Amino acid sequence: MKKCVLVSGGAGFIGSHVTVELLEAGYDVIVADNMSNCDMTCFEGVKKITGREDIPFVKMDFCDPVATELLFTTHEIDAVIHFAGFKAVGESVAEPLKYYRNNLESFINVIESAKAHGCGNILFSSSATVYGEPEKLPVTEESPRQPATSPYGNTKQMCEDILRDSVKAYSGIRGIALRYFNPIGAHPSALIGELPRGVPNNLVPFITQTAIGKRECLSVFGNDYPTPDGTCQRDFIDVVDLAKAHVFAVRRMLEDKMKNEYEIFNIGTGKPLSVMELINGFEKANSLKLNYKIAPRRPGDVTAIWADPTLANEELGWKAERDIEDTLAAAWAWEKHIAGE
Ligand code: UD1
């Protein structure tokens, strides 16, 4: 019998890539999304990539406990990957209650229904943002979490704690939190990718929109950081590599391979890249020149963070494999695809 994975927020950037990888690994998938921050572009892309017209899709809001309960009543679900949530750092500072209500309520509803229906395998999409400005690099899963600098970051920490405490209190529930570093890129087919609404906050969508002419000029936020070239350093992880990590994590849960009932894994490459290195890489990968300028630092940015991914490498058997130039070529192919070029 095929195992069935519910992907909440499955029509979004990461959720759609994870759906592809799960289907290709032989799992059944139910995609559920309230479509508050995306359209059907990526879900349609998932169908094209996988050749599957029959992927169940449920338009629903996980903040609605009745709808959540109904989903679990009407489907046999073996594992849940929870992506549904708001993710704009700046907006979360301006509207904290919106973030706390949405991100916490939806996750609580998912765990409650999963628990009631004996579906004990829950994977939460967390973030390296929980490490704040790390004292020691690279960060391991043992590195201390720092007080969150935004309500968005706080909801990531709180959801981790909600999962940890639920696992401890309720028998039959186990959980994995994957802490993503900076997911970038797009599927090599260029049929799914990131579709930010309005002005992008994140670096790569801003780069691709500048390259295509939607934005005039990229601002590099600060070149006076204590790093080799003065710009911030991040662990940019290809979204397809990141998506594959979920397949390994789900398999670990479903095949009873977990060593603890609650586990945390860093999902990164282990290699730092600076903002300038990324820009240069984009220009080289795509043989173009980008219009950029040096601008003041962006408040709230950390200087440098990258993962020690050893635990995920050894325990999940997963490793980031894609070459950064391929990743940046895929990001550009996706931007051109959505521009209709
Ligand atoms: C941000 C969030 C993080 C979230 C992640 C999701 C903050 C403080 N953190 O991480 O919580 O999990 O996105 O992907 O917002 N940059 C520029 N010019 C730009 C945009 C970005 O120079 O137009 C620089 C930033 O200063 C930063 C780097 O690029 O040094 C990466 O920025 P971004 O893509 O926004 O990711 P993070 O800030 O690392």
Of these residues, 131, 152, 225, 262, which one is catalytic? 152
Same domain, yes or no, for 177 and 243?
A: yes
Same domain, yes or no, for 242 and 167?
A: yes
The whole-number average pLDDT for the span 159-165 is 98
Same domain, yes or no, for 152 and 290?
A: no
Residues 64-119 pLDDT 10s: 999 999 999 999 999 999 999 999 999 999 999 999 999 999 999 999 999 999 99
Task: Report yes or no on 197 lying in a domain.
Answer: no
Same domain, yes or no, for 144 and 227?
A: no
Same domain, yes or no, for 131 and 217?
A: no
Tokens, residue 187 = 């599927």
Residues 319-330 pLDDT 10s: 999 999 999 999
Is the pLDDT reported for residue 341 higher than 80? no
Is the pLDDT reported for residue 1 higher than 90? no
CA of 296 to the centre of ligand 1 (A): 14
Residues 199-236 pLDDT 10s: 999 999 999 999 999 999 999 999 999 999 999 999 99
Domain that holds residue 15: 4-184+237-269+311-316
Q: Please give the Cα distance from 219 to 197 (Å, whole number).
A: 19
DSSP code at position 296: P
Task: Report yes or no on 337 lying in a domain.
Answer: no
Ligand 1 atom, smallest distance to 89 CA: 15
Same domain, yes or no, for 246 and 212?
A: no
Q: Of all protein residues, whose CA lies closest to atom 26 belonging to ligand 1?
A: 221
Share of the chain above pLDDT 70, in %: 100
Which distant-in-sequence residues (6+ apart) come within 8 Å of 286 by Cβ? 211, 328, 329, 332
Task: Report yes or no on 113 lying in a domain.
Answer: yes
Same domain, yes or no, for 213 and 303?
A: yes
Which distant-in-sequence residues (6+ apart) come within 8 Å of 162 by Cβ? 104, 107, 108, 111
Same domain, yes or no, for 30 and 133?
A: yes
Q: What pLDDT, on a 0 to 100 scale, did the predictor assign at position 100?
A: 98
DSSP secondary structure string, 262-282? EEEEEES-S--EEHHHHHHHH
- The total number of structural domains that make up the chain: 2
Residues 257-273 pLDDT 10s: 999 999 999 999 999 99
CA of 301 to the centre of ligand 1 (A): 7
